[in-house]
Chain A
Amino acid sequence: MSKLVDKEIVAKKMPSRIIRNQIFKGLFFLSTLFGLLVLGVLFYRIITQGIGYIDLDFFQNFASRRPENAGIKAAFIGTIWLMVVVAPVSLILGVGTAIYLEEYAKKNKFTSFIKLNISNLAGVPSIVFGLLGLTIFVRAMALERSVLAAGLTMSLLVLPVIIVASQEAIRSVPKELREASFAMGATKWQTVLKVVLPASIPGILTGGILALSRAIGETAPLIVIGIPMFVAFLPKTIMDTFTVLPMQIYNWTSRPQAEFQDLAAAGILVMLVLLIVMNSIAVFIRNHFQKRY
C-alpha cells in the first residue's frame, strides 16, 4: 500500500503499452504513406493516359473538335502571355508591400490592420477574386476578356503569397547588415535597395516562382471573368482575348468522349511538367543562393 510504484503492475502492463505504441506508429506511418500513394497513382494514371498524345503536333495545333487534330498551342502560349502580366505586376506590388511592412511601417493600428487584411485575403476563395475581376476589370474598366483583365485578377489572387514570402526573406536579413550600411552614411532607401533587397532576393524569387505556379494552375477566376475555352488564334496584344492550359484541360475533361479525356491527361502532363520545372528552379534557388545569417 505504501509503495509509490507497484513494479508488478507496471511490468504486467508494459508489453501491451509497447505493442500499442508500435501499432499506432504503424498506423501513423500508413497514413503518411497514403498521401504519397495517391500522388503516385495520380502521376501514373496521367502519364499512361496522356503520354500517347504528346508529340510535336500537340504543341503546334489549336483546339479542334476532332481529338486527333487537337493541340494546346493557344493554351500554352496563352499561359505564357498570362505570366507576362502576372509576374511584373504581382512582384512589384508584393515586394513593395513587403518592404513597406518590414522596413518603413510604424507599429500602429493601421499597420496591423494591413497585416490582418493580407492574411484574410489569402483565405478568400479564388472564385471570389473572379467576381471582383468581372466587376472591376472586365466591366467597370472595360478591359473585356483580355490578357490584361485576367492578368490583373490573377495578380491580386497571388499577391498575399508573394507578400508573405518577401516579408520572411526581408526579415531574415540581419540587423547588423543594415546598421553597417547606415554607418557608411547610406540613406534608408539606399540601404533597402543595395543591402537588404540583394540579400533577400533568393527568398523573394522562390516565393515569386511559387506564386506564379499557383497562377498557372488556377482555373476558377478565369472561368468567372469569361475567358473562352475554345480559341483557335493567338493574342497579339495584352488587350486580346486568349485561353490558358487549365481552361483547355477543363474543356476537354467536361466532354464525355474518352479521346478528349486522354487529351485532358496529355494537357495535364504538360502543365505538371511546367510546374515541376518551375518548382525545381525555386528549390534550386533556395538551396544554392539563400544565405543563412
Chain B
Amino acid sequence: MPRGNDKEYSVQQMIIEKRLKKKNHFNFEKLIPGLLLLTAVLSVLTTIGIVFTLIFETFIFFDRVSIIEFLTNKKWYPFSATNASFGIMPLVVGTLKITGIAAIVAVPIGLATAIYLSEYASEKARRVIKPILEVLAGIPTIVYGFFALTFVTPILKQMIPSLETFNALSPGIVVGIMITPMVASLSEDAMSSVPRSIREGAFALGATKLETTIKVILPAAVSGITASVVLALSRAIGETMIVSVAGGSTPNASFDVTSSIQTMTAYIVQVSTGDAGYQTTIYYSIYAVGMTLFLFTLFMNLFAQFITRKFKEEY
C-alpha cells in the first residue's frame, strides 16, 4: 500500500486502525444530524428571542404606561417632561399614510410591469429588464432615503408650494418605488405559472392579448398577485431609513400628506440616536412600538401565506 511515511504496517495493525477509524466514523456520523438540527433550531430560537424580548420589555413599559392609554390616547408626546403621553395612534397613522401612498405607486406600476414581462415582452427584453429590476430591489434603503430628501422632495415642492421639507408624500412615493420590483417580480411569477394551454384557449376563441390577460390570466393568478401586494405592503410598513431621512419627526394623527410625520420605525430610530437613558420609560417605549410593528407585519405575512395556500390553483 502506498503510504506517505516509512512506518511499517502489519496487516493486523491496519485492521485495528481501520476498525478504530470506523468506530470514530460511526460516532461522527451520528453526531452530524444533531449538530445540523442545532443550527436549524437556532432560527426558531431567533423568533422566540424576538417574541420574548418584545413581550418582556413591553410588559415593563405597560407597568409604567397603561395599555389603555397606549391604545386609545390620540397624542404621542414621549419627550414632554411634564405632560408625557403615549398614544400609539399618531405613529400608526403616520405608518399607514406612508404605506397607502406607497401602495398607490407600487400596485399599478408593479402590476403593469408584471403583465408586460409575463404576457407581452419578448424573451430577450425579459432577460434585460428582470436583472435591472433586481438591481432596483437590491439598492440599500438609505440610498432611497437620500434620493427622497434631495431629489423627490425638491421636485414635489415646485409642484406643491405648501409642502414642508419633511413630509409624508415624498418618502411614501419613494417607498412605493422601492417595493415596486417586489410586486412586479412576485406577480410575474404568479402569472407565468398560469399554463400556456389556458392562454392558447383564450386566443383560439379570438380574444386579444389584453382580453386574455384581464379576463383569464389575472383571475387565474389572483391569489399570487394578492400575496405579492400584501408582502410588499408589509415591507413598506417596516421600512425605516427612507421615512427617517425624509419623513420628519412630528407624530400627528391627521391625514394631511404635506406636513411632517413620524412612523413607528422612525420613532425607534429617533430614540436610538437620541440620548434617552437605559431603563427609562422612553427606552421601553421603543419595544412597545416595535411590538406593534411586529404584530402588523406578522399578521400580513401570515395572511399572505394563507392566501397562497388556500387559493392555490393547481394545474
Contacts and interface: CB of A to CB of B under 8 A. Distances in A.
B84 to A, nearest CB: 21
Given A31-B112, A219-B240, A246 B142 contact: yes
Most A CB within 10 A of own CB, among B40, B238, B245, B305: B40
B36 A120 contact: no
B260 interface: no
B290 A127 contact: yes
Contacts of B49: 132, 136
Interface stretch (A53-61, A66-74, A194-202, A268-276): A268-276
Contacts of B131: 283
B208 A18 contact: yes
A119 interface: yes
Q: Chain A contact residues (Cβ within 8 angstroms of B): what range? A: 35 or more
Interface stretch (A21-29, A80-88, A172-180, A235-243): A21-29
B14 interface: no
A226 B286 CA distance: 13
A33 to B, nearest CB: 9
A49 B136 CA distance: 20
A117 B139 contact: no
Chain B facing A: main interface SS? helix
Contact of B37 (A100, A253, A283): A100
A261 interface: yes
Given A28-B115, A114-B40, A224 B146 contact: no
Contacts of B50: 124, 128-129, 131-132
Interface stretch (B62-70, B250-258, B267-275): B267-275
A189 B26 CA distance: 10
Interface in B280-304: 286-287, 290, 293-294, 297-298, 300-302
Nearest to A218: B140
Contacts of A118: 43
B25 interface: yes
B126 to A, nearest CB: 10
A213 B140 CA distance: 9
Interface stretch (B73-81, B85-93, B147-155, B194-202): B147-155
Given A31-B113, A100-B40, A189-B29, A124 B294 contact: yes
A163 B41 CA distance: 13
B39 A100 contact: yes
A46 B44 contact: no
Given A96-B39, A132-B50, A35 B132 contact: yes
Nearest to A254: B245
Given A35-B180, A100-B40, A253-B142, A127 B268 contact: yes
A129 B240 CA distance: 12
Nearest to A251: B273
A271 B286 CA distance: 29
B181 interface: yes
A51 interface: no
Given A38-B177, A123-B234, A223-B273, A261 B108 contact: no
Contact of B43 (A35, A125, A159): A159
A47 B129 CA distance: 22
A34 B57 CA distance: 44
Interface in B204-263: 206, 208-211, 231, 234-235, 237-241, 244-245
Contacts of A92: 39
Contacts of B239: 125
B47 A253 contact: no
Given A29-B116, A39-B132, A220-B265, A120 B109 contact: no
Nearest to B118: A28
Given A100-B36, A220-B241, A223-B269, A131 B113 contact: no
B143 A46 contact: yes
A117 B47 contact: yes
Contacts of B184: 35
Interface of A: 10, 17-18, 20-21, 24-25, 27-32, 34-36, 38-39, 41-42, 45-46, 49, 92-93, 96-97, 99-101, 104-105, 113-114, 116-121, 123-132, 135-136, 139, 156, 159-160, 163, 187-189, 210, 213-214, 216-220, 223-224, 226, 229, 246, 249-250, 253-254, 261, 264-265, 268, 271-272, 275, 279, 283
19 contacts: A24-B210, A31-B112, A35-B113, A35-B136, A38-B136, A42-B151, A46-B147, A114-B40, A120-B47, A125-B265, A131-B50, A131-B54, A131-B286, A131-B290, A132-B53, A135-B56, A188-B29, A213-B138, A219-B240
7 closest residue pairs by CB, A with B: A125-B238, A217-B140, A96-B39, A31-B112, A100-B36, A28-B116, A220-B240
Given A28-B120, A131-B286, 6 more contacts: A28-B116, A31-B113, A45-B151, A93-B43, A127-B268, A254-B245
